């Protein structure tokens, strides 16, 4: 039973990286949340435009910035999270 649940989880995670389980740390979870947030902001042209205007950057610049931020969005991985 436990084995199957584990396998299911692995299979799920291979498709949707943001899913978690009981062992997920807060940091892992938040990293995913941040990445999802950036992806969402980039993905919706209207929000991207709004942010670009408010930050005074071009949309492309902002996009690049967000993509770069996706690398370790919550700092390096720590043990305790």
Partner 1 sequence: MSDDLAEIKRAQLQRKALNSNEPVDSFYDETPPRQLDKYDTSIAVNGIDFDDSMETELGKRTLVGQYSAPKELVAEMAGTGDQDDGLVERQHAKSVYSKESDYQRRKYNRALSPDRVGADGETRSYKQIMEERELEREEQRIQQLIKKQNEESTSSREQYIKQEETISEEPKRARKRRWDVEGTDEASGTEPVVKSEVEPVAQPQIIKRRSRWDQTAPAIISELQNEVEVVKPARRSRWDQSSKATESTELSKPVFGAMIENPNYLSDEMLNQILPTEGYEILQPPLDYVPITQPAQKLIQAPVSSNDGFVMLEETSAESLGVKHLPTNIPGVGELQFFREEDMKYFGKLMEKTKESELTIAELKARKVMRLVLKVKNGAPPVRKGALRQLTDNARSFGPKAIFDQVLPLMLEKSLQEQERHLLVKIINRVLYRLDDLVRPYTHKILVVILPLLIEEDPYARIEGREAVSNLAKAVGLPHMITVMRPDIDQTDEYVRNITARGFAVVASALGVPALIPFIKAVCKSKKSWEARHTGVKIVQQIAVLMGCAILPHLKGLVDCIAACLTDEQLKVRTITALSISALAEASAPYGIESFENVLEPLWMGIRKHRGKGLAAFIKCIGFLIPLMDPEYANYYTKEVMVILLREFNSPDEDMRKIVLKVVQQCAATEGVTPKYLKEQVVPEFFKCFWIRRIALGRFNSLVIDTTLEISQKVGVSEVLERIVLVLKDEAEPFRKMGVITVEKVISSLGAADLSPDLERRLVDGMLTSFQQSSDDNIMVNAFGTVINALGYRSKKYLTEIVSAILFSLQNQSPLVRQKAADLIAAIAIVIKNCDEDNFLLKLGSVLYEQLGEEYPEVLGSILGALKNIVAVVGLSQMRPPIGDLLPRLTPILRNRHEKVQENAIDLVGRIADRGPEYVSPREWMRICFELLDILKAHKKGIRRAANNTFGYIAKAIGPQDVLATLLSNLRVQERQSRVCTAVAIGIVAETCSPFTVLPALMNEYRVPELNVQNGVLKAMSFLFEYIGDMAKDYVYAVTPLLEDALIDRDHVHRQTAASVIKHIALGVTGHGCEDAMIHFLNLLLPNIFETSPHVIDRIIEGIDGVRNCVGASVVLNYIWTGLFHSARKVRKPYWRLYNSAYIQSADAMVPYYPELEEDNYKRAELDIWI
Indicate whether 54 belongs to the interface with partner 1 (CB under 8 A).
Answer: yes
CA distances from 26 to 2, 6, 29, 57 (A): 23, 20, 5, 32
Q: Exactly one of 11, 22, 45, 46 binds partner 1 (CB under 8 A); which one?
A: 22
- CB of 78 within 8 A of CB of 50? no
Closest approach, Cβ 20 to partner 1, in A, equals 5
Q: Exactly one of 7, 10, 11, 20 binds partner 1 (CB under 8 A); which one?
A: 20
Indicate whether 45 belongs to the interface with partner 1 (CB under 8 A).
Answer: no
- CB of 33 within 8 A of CB of 23? no
Contacts for 11 with CB less than 8 Å, ≥ 6 apart = none
When computed from its CA atoms, the radius of gyration of the chain, rounded to whole angstroms, is: 16
Indicate whether 68 belongs to the interface with partner 1 (CB under 8 A).
Answer: no
- Binding site residues, partner 1, CB under 8 A: 3, 12, 16, 18-22, 24, 26, 29-30, 33-34, 36-38, 40-41, 43, 50-51, 53-55, 66, 74-75
């Amino acid at each position: 039973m436990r084995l199957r649940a584990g396998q299911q989880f692995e299979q799920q995670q291979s498709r949707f990286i943001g899913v978690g389980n009981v062992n997920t740390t807060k940091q892992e979870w938040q990293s995913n949340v941040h990445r999802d947030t950036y992806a969402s902001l980039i993905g919706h042209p209207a929000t991207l435009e709004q942010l670009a205007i408010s930050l005074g950057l071009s949309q492309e610049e902002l996009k690049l910035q967000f993509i770069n931020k996706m690398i370790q969005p919550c700092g390096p991985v720590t043990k305790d999270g």
